[in-house]
Amino acid sequence: MGLPMAQRLLAANIEVVAYNRTPEKLAPLQAAGAEVVTHPRYAIREAECVILMLTNAAAIYHVLLSDTSWRTLQGRTIIQMGTITSTQSQEIRDSIVGGGGEYIEAPVLGSIPEAKAGTLTVMVGAEPKQYERCLDLLKNFGPDPLLIGPVGTASGLKLALNQLIASLTTSFALSLAFVQRQGIDVDKFMQVLRESALYAPTFDKKLQRMLDGNYSNPNFPTKHLLKDTDLFISEAQYLGLDLSSIETVQKLLQTTMKMSFANDDYSALFSVIRDWGEASGG
């Protein structure tokens, strides 16, 4: 996700200093005109605004809040765009403010195609004045960044939406496998579904992958959806909600990981549902 987002900044003639924990991933950015550095503190020193698109909170602490990096945060604005919990985001904010920096969260809904096109849904957790200051920059990633509320609210909303990704895809995969086993024409199933209030566009986005069993070149791999599902459950446990439905999805994703689909598209959970059916019906 970070690569096409940085490429959009370069295309807008914004100077970019790039750091990645996997240095070889920076080659396309360097070719496009970005300055490449070997340690995050060098990027932080040269930047007015630091944009993070990292896997999890542990990666953020490693890159941004190690002692050498934390000392360089004075006067910098940090925009955290990955998926973490509200609690983690607030704790990171407190650490950054303690180092003299400013922090907002701006997680996104969408994947690599939307990142390339600049059509991500950008959700912002910040004070209104912070939001206004960062709005033009964030518009490089999505046309209408939306202020959700203070830090923590955008992270929470992102997890709520990713819970839907996991649950909707699981439900659709189960119905699709059921239709196939019943000998019902898949095209007719989809025709009725598309014309109903039950339809969600994500179904068509994942349909062909499921039918073909082609889960390579993912826009969003299984391991990341499981990570986000784990985060949702960990945060929701304190809210008094019944989590039995998403915990079942979590187990399906864990099994999908065990079947060597960790780095494949998360629609691979269809194979788990289908193969379980074969086992129980065998």
Active-site positions?
158
Identify the H or E element spanning 108: strand 108-109
Tell me the C-alpha to C-alpha distance, in Å, between residue 29 and each of 51, 114, 126, 188, 218. 15, 18, 29, 45, 21
Token pair 């939307």: residue: 114
Q: What is the 3-state secondary structure (H, E, C) of 112-132?
A: HHHHHHCCCEEEEECCHHHHH
Token pair 């900044």: residue: 9
Cα separation of 10 and 228, whole Å? 29
* DSSP letter for each residue of 3-32: HHHHHHHHHTT---EE--SSGGGGHHHHHT
Tell me the C-alpha to C-alpha distance, in Å, between residue 48 and each of 27, 83, 99, 125, 213. 23, 23, 15, 19, 45
* Cα atoms in the 13 Å half-sphere on the side-chain side of 242: 2
C-beta of residue 266 within 8 angstroms of C-beta of residue 253:
yes
Tell me the C-alpha to C-alpha distance, in Å, between residue 89 and each of 79, 96, 240. 11, 11, 21
Beta partners for 146? 123
Give the tokens for residue 74: 């004075």
Tell me the C-alpha to C-alpha distance, in Å, between residue 136 and each of 9, 82, 140, 145. 11, 19, 7, 9
